[in-house]
Amino acid sequence: MASRFSTLAAAVLAALLSTAASASEPPCRREADGRVSCEPDGFARLTRSALEAKARADELELRLSDVRRQLEDRTRDLGLCEAEPVIEPEPPRSSVLPLVGLVVGVAGALAAGASGAWIARDGAPSTAPVIVGVAGLGAVVLGAVAVSW
């Protein structure tokens, strides 16, 4: 087991050293007289890396134009949001008005009921019970409106 591990470690170390050595040498060099000399596969690697860089630059240019268009859209939307008038919040409702409406409605219902009993007891000798009944029904409606308002 130990010999297998040491063999594996030696292989990994050799691979790392060879990679580091080849990475330190550039594929092409400029000579003192201005000429460029390349290793046998250096020109192909240089060309491939230039084409990959150009493709990446084209892709990034497309993404940049998309992001600029999104920025313009968001800036326009923000300007529209800021141009909207601020809506004032609705003032809180009074808790007294529904209670007053409830009291008025109950009183109206009692008045309407009393006028019905009055008519049933005395017959219809006068218009007073009818007026009390209509006023009671009006009070019921007014109370319902006050409660729902």
Kindly state the DSSP code that residue 11 receives in the 8-state scheme: H
CA–CA gap between residue 54 and residue 48 (Å, rounded): 10
Mean pLDDT of the chain: 79
The per-residue pLDDT for range 82-110, each reduced to its tens digit, is: 776 777 888 888 888 888 888 998 999 99
**Could you tell me which residues are beta bridge partners of residue 38?**
28
**Whole-number pLDDT of residue 65:** 94
At 39, the amino acid letter reads E
Residue 11 banded pLDDT, cuts 50, 70, 90: low
Q: Is the pLDDT of residue 23 over 80?
A: no
CB 8 within 8 A of CB 16: no
Mean pLDDT computed over 13-29: 55
pLDDT tens column, 113-133: 888 887 777 776 678 888 888
